[in-house]
Amino acid sequence: MNIVSIAISKKKGTRKKQVLEADLIKNFGIKGDAHAGPWHRQVSFLSSESIDSARESGLDVTFGDFAENIATKGIDWKNIPKGTRVHLGDFVEVEITQIGKECHNKCAIYYQAGDCIMPREGVFARVLAGGKIKCGDTVSLDNLSLAD
């Protein structure tokens, strides 16, 4: 299980741009990202498999297009329970605070991409321990056996 994409944006409700690395700040989120702040949705996650599936269904999308901060390989995020602690790279630790989200109106992402899978398949977390992450870093989950 590893990080395959990191993406940030200056404005909420827009596609995010990929970066090679990012600084996560304790109790705040990703430095430079519009969603960072003192709340429960500081960082968002989506599986690369979900993005691949959206692409295979005909959507013209890539990493960051669903406004996810971190895309990973090998984790089915929508089935990870709230409260799970996730380790990113060597130092960063986050806690899952929300699974999916309610969209009251169709956002710009929906209109640009044709669908938005974040409400169904994305998860959100708050940063417990900050540090730098980069693409390729490993991801591990506390108290869960994901082996099939």
Q: What is the pLDDT of residues 12-28, one digit of tens each?
A: 878 899 999 999 999 99
CATH homologous superfamily of 2-140: PK beta-barrel domain-like (2.40.33.20)
What's the rounded mean pLDDT across residues 96-115?
69
CA trace torsion 3, 83, 68, 110 (10° rounding):
140
Q: For residue 109, name the pLDDT band (cuts at 50, 70, 90).
A: low
Confidence at residue 145, expressed as pLDDT on a 0 to 100 scale: 42
Transcribe 63-97 into DSSP letters.
Answer: TTTT--SEEEES--GGGSPTT-EEEETTTEEEEEE
Give domain limits for the chain: 2-140
pLDDT of 148 strictly over 60: no
Confidence at residue 69, expressed as pLDDT on a 0 to 100 scale: 97
13, 115 in Cβ contact below 8 A? no
- Strands in 131-134's sheet, in edge-to-edge order, are 29-30, 21-25, 131-134
Planar angle of CA 39, 123, 109, nearest 5 degrees: 90
Q: For residue 108, name the pLDDT band (cuts at 50, 70, 90).
A: low
